[in-house]
């Protein structure tokens, strides 16, 4: 009986000691977090982002200072008010997100950056807020398929003078942006290379400006499937059916031939008219691969080596915002600086086109392609 009492007392003392240790460690952890938060607040308050040299600013944030000022002015009043003493101000929120887009890594891009000095949990909420603001405020104004007559003519002239291919107003291609395995429907995101990804459709013009981006489809989808179901295809179809002629996009052989989308001939004879057509077509279409290469090297969070650690919806938001920022960079700075433009950084066009348009449209498209080949490449 005495032995049982002693055991109970011993067990009680042990539990009490463990609880005391746990409480001590928790208090110590809270104190350490508070100290880190204070250090970060002091660093942020003492840092002057715009005091960086122009070269250092562009290297860190990818935007030059005029572009940064423009973006900040557009979004600064959209952030929710936060009057806490340790709150992160809108300027530092934007800078932290730009650093993340540039590096694709919280630890190296934001957490250890004395200019940002923001904890990981705090940064997650900042990223969500900033993405929502930028997507709704900027994307609609900077990414658009609509082109003025002057833009259309300049595009056709530029493509023809450079490559000899007539009537081109843009090029389309798909590229994969890797993400972590999603919680639901993993198999839909597993691409042919064995990675989880989004299959992102990009349409660009002759200036490498992104005219359309569609990041809504899982990595298991073919480029042709993404295009076939996209509002972008319906846009060009409506334009053709309403009477527009002599204007088209270029796409690789993974896409179905349509009157508004010229694709190369399959297995043409060497030195034939069709072979010459394909050579010019490939030269003109190269610009979309270069555009994707520039986009991903400027905003390296999109590179395959990085992998976005977010759910598909947020990953799609990141893609959209990066495409918007890409266009803003082109507008404010035509010099690409230290950004290496890699031709065909991810030439991932799928070679399995779907059925394509109705027979009547396919026949019209074949006639148009043959006319181009005989008139310009005979």
- Residue by residue, pLDDT tens for the chain (378 residues) are 545 554 555 555 555 555 655 555 555 555 555 445 544 444 445 456 878 889 989 999 999 999 999 999 999 999 988 766 557 889 999 999 999 999 887 655 554 554 556 778 888 999 999 999 999 999 999 999 999 999 999 999 999 999 999 999 999 999 999 999 999 999 999 999 999 999 999 999 999 999 999 999 999 999 999 999 999 999 999 999 999 999 999 999 999 999 999 999 999 999 999 999 999 999 999 999 999 999 999 999 999 777 899 999 999 999 999 999 999 999 998 555 455 554 444 445 555 555 567 788 999 999 999 999 999 998
Rounded CA gap, 210 and 320, in Å? 10
What pLDDT score was predicted for residue 105? 75
DSSP 83: -
Dihedrals φ, ψ of 187, to 5°? -60, -25
What pLDDT score was predicted for residue 110? 56
- Residue holding tokens 């960086």? 52
- Does residue 231 lie in a domain region? yes
What pLDDT score was predicted for residue 42? 41
Domain identity same for 227 and 258 = yes
What pLDDT score was predicted for residue 265? 97
Q: Strand 248-250 vs strand 261-262: parallel, antiparallel, or unpaired?
A: parallel
- Does residue 106 lie in a domain region? yes
Domain identity same for 138 and 154 = no
Domain identity same for 89 and 236 = no
Question: Structural domain of residue 111, as residue ranges?
Answer: 49-142
Domain identity same for 295 and 179 = yes
Rounded CA gap, 301 and 315, in Å? 10
CA 319 vs CA 178, 214, 261, 292, 361: distances in Å: 11, 9, 24, 11, 33
- Does residue 367 lie in a domain region? yes
What pLDDT score was predicted for residue 116? 53
What pLDDT score was predicted for residue 342? 47
Domain identity same for 130 and 269 = no
Domain identity same for 103 and 158 = no
Could you say which of 126, 142, 158 is where a domain stops?
A: 142
Task: Specify the 3-state DSSP secondary structure of 86.
Answer: coil
- Does residue 44 lie in a domain region? no
Domain identity same for 255 and 361 = yes
Domain identity same for 122 and 162 = no
What's this model's pTM, rounded to 2 decimal places?
0.83
Q: What token pair was written down for 191?
A: 């691409």
Find residue 248's DSSP bridge partners: 168
What pLDDT score was predicted for residue 7? 55
- Does residue 29 lie in a domain region? no
- Does residue 27 lie in a domain region? no
Domain identity same for 183 and 73 = no
- Does residue 157 lie in a domain region? yes
Domain identity same for 135 and 282 = no
Give 303-358 as a DSSP string.
STTT-B-S-HHHHHHHHHHHHHHHHHHHHH----TT----TTTT----S-----S-
Domain identity same for 111 and 158 = no
Domain identity same for 259 and 363 = yes
Find residue 168's DSSP bridge partners: 248
- Does residue 21 lie in a domain region? no
What pLDDT score was predicted for residue 330? 97
**Domain count of the chain?**
2
CB-count exposure of residue 93 (10 Å: 0-12, 13-18, 19+): buried
Helices (H), the chain: 2-46, 54-61, 65-75, 90-103, 106, 120-134, 140-142, 149-163, 186-189, 223-228, 231-241, 273-298, 312-332, 359-376
Could you say which of 142, 173, 203 is where a domain stops?
A: 142
Could you say which of 99, 117, 142 is where a domain stops?
A: 142
Find residue 199's DSSP bridge partners: 176
């Amino acid at each position: 009986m005495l032995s049982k009492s002693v055991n109970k007392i011993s067990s009680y003392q042990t539990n009490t000691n463990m609880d005391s240790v746990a409480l001590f460690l928790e208090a110590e952890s809270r104190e350490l977090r508070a100290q880190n938060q204070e250090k970060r607040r002091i660093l942020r308050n003492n840092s002057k982002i715009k005091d960086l040299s122009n070269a250092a600013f562009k290297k860190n944030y990818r935007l030059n200072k005029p572009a940064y000022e423009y973006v900040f002015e557009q979004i600064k009043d959209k952030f929710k008010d936060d009057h806490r003493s340790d709150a992160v101000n809108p300027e530092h929120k934007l800078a932290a997100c730009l650093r993340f887009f540039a590096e694709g890594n919280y630890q190296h891009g934001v957490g250890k950056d004395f200019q940002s000095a923001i904890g990981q949990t705090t940064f997650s909420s900042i990223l969500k807020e900033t993405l929502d603001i930028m997507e709704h405020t900027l994307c609609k104004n900077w990414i658009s398929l609509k082109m003025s007559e002057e833009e259309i003519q300049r595009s056709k002239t530029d493509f023809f003078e450079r490559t000899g291919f007539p009537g081109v107003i843009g090029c389309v291609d798909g590229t994969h942006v890797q993400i972590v395995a999603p919680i639901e429907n993993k198999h839909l995101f597993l691409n042919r290379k064995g990675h989880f990804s989004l299959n992102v459709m990009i349409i660009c013009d002759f200036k490498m400006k992104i005219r359309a981006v569609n990041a809504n489809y899982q990595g298991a989808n073919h480029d042709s499937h993404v295009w076939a179901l996209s509002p972008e295809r319906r846009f060009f179809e409506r334009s053709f059916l309403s009477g527009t002629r002599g204007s088209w996009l270029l796409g690789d052989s993974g896409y179905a031939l349509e009157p508004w989308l010229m694709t190369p001939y399959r297995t043409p004879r060497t030195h034939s008219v069709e072979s010459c057509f394909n050579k010019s077509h490939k030269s003109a279409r190269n610009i979309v691969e270069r555009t994707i290469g520039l986009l991903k090297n400027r905003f390296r969070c999109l590179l395959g080596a990085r992998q976005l650690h977010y759910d598909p919806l947020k990953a799609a938001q990141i893609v959209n915002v990066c495409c918007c920022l890409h266009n803003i960079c082109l507008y404010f700075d035509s010099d690409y600086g230290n950004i290496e433009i890699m031709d065909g950084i991810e030439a991932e066009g799928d070679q399995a086109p779907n059925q394509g348009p109705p027979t009547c449209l396919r026949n019209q498209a074949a006639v148009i392609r043959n006319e181009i080949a005989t008139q310009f490449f005979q």
